[in-house]
Structure 1
Amino acid sequence: MSKPLMSILATACALALPSLAHSRQLTLAAQLKNYGGDGAYLAAYLTDAKGTYVRTLWVAGGKAKYHKHLSDWSRLSAGDAKRLNGVTGASVGAGRTLNVTADLADALIDAGYEIRIDAAVEDMRDSPSEVRIPLSTANAGKPQAGKQYIQSVTFQLK
């Protein structure tokens, strides 16, 4: 590589790294409906403006054999070997609330990214992309209704 090109690359990295280091805390609350079934498996994840998987925020429901029923998340995140590292917990019962906290880079907020939640309940219909919420400051604190198992989802940014 030529010295001018290396110099430009080093300068670009030096300018970009501080902006990547800034993050905000996202707190997500998903209130489930009283749907009359077993505990729900939920996958909360981020996609970019094109719908491409970015990262998993949380997966509620620890039995991996049921993760295929979280079909959009399972399909989109299939290439992410670390998709479950440190982001799993118990399933969520009907009428209960799932609370998730994650750190997100500032660059993701108001940049076309979306929070998605897939839901599945044993012996009931799966609900891929049950909730889709644009990750924007305008949507923070505003409840978004789910399609089948989720009553509402809200997120806060700190």
Structure 2
Amino acid sequence: MTAFTLPRLGAIAAACALLLPGLAQSRPVTITTQLKNYNGDGAYLAVYLTNAQGAYAGTLWVAGSKAKYYKHLSAWSRLSAADNQRLLGVTGASVGAGRTLKVTADLADALLDAGYEIRIDAAVEDQRDSPAEVRLPLSTAQAGQPVRGKQYIQSTRFDLP
């Protein structure tokens, strides 16, 4: 099992600061996603945040570098369409079956226990797309607790320091 460790995403901290002015406290949140051993090509994954009303709040990471396939990450693509900065510094390679993706982002403390969710859309070439494959409440009670995916993801969890 190989893990892809990604650098902290300073752009996310800046985006959260813009979305929620006046928030000075943030912390690193590490999201770990283990894919199932499905048959097929690497998965494209969009890891993003939504607020308590289900509205898009920011993109944390997009695994898969060919933009022509992003339309298959349909919930993320639809929700983030107006965000011209959604891909700034947050893209990498697709993730193979059975592999692990780790994303670390600095998130404002005020997002915890405020109804926000980490969502992950998944798509694999020549297979069925899976919008909102994972919906994970961004709450202190949920930290460290794995959530099962619907189709391609075995489990996802986030950890706090």
Could you state the TM-score of these two structures normalised by the residue count of structure 2? 0.86
Among candidates 41, 45, 63, match of residue 44 of structure 2: 41
1:148 aligns with 2:151: yes
Distance across 2 between alignment mates of 1:51 and 1:24: 23
1:109 aligns with 2:112: yes
Deviations, residues 44-63 of structure 1 (Å, cap 9, x unaligned)? 00000110000000000000
Q: CA RMSD in A?
A: 0.7
Q: Residue 110 of structure 2 aligns to a residue in which SS?
A: helix
Distance across 2 between alignment mates of 1:112 and 1:25: 18
1:74 aligns with 2:74: no
Equivalent pairs: percent with the same residue?
Answer: 75
1:126-145 → structure 2 map (5 Å cutoff): 126-145=129-148
Distance across 1 between alignment mates of 2:97 and 2:67: 20
Q: Residue 144 of structure 1 aligns to a residue in which SS?
A: coil
Among candidates 126, 130, 135, match of residue 123 of structure 1: 126
1:64 aligns with 2:67: yes
In the other structure, the counterpart of 1:88 is 91
Distance across 2 between alignment mates of 1:128 and 1:21: 33
Number of residue pairs matched by the alignment: 141
Q: CA deviation at 1:21?
A: 1.1
In the other structure, the counterpart of 1:3 is none
**Higher-helix-fraction structure:** 1
Q: CA deviation at 1:146?
A: 0.1
Which has more radius of gyration? 1
Q: Residue 67 of structure 1 aligns to a residue in which SS?
A: helix
Distance across 2 between alignment mates of 1:90 and 1:157: 25
Q: CA deviation at 1:157?
A: 1.3
Unaligned runs of 5+ residues in structure 2 are 1-20
In the other structure, the counterpart of 1:30 is 33
Could you state the TM-score of these two structures normalised by the residue count of structure 1? 0.88
Distance across 1 between alignment mates of 2:30 and 2:111: 15
Deviations, residues 8-44 of structure 1 (Å, cap 9, x unaligned)? xxxxxxxx73xx0100111000000001110000000
Distance across 2 between alignment mates of 1:37 and 1:113: 32
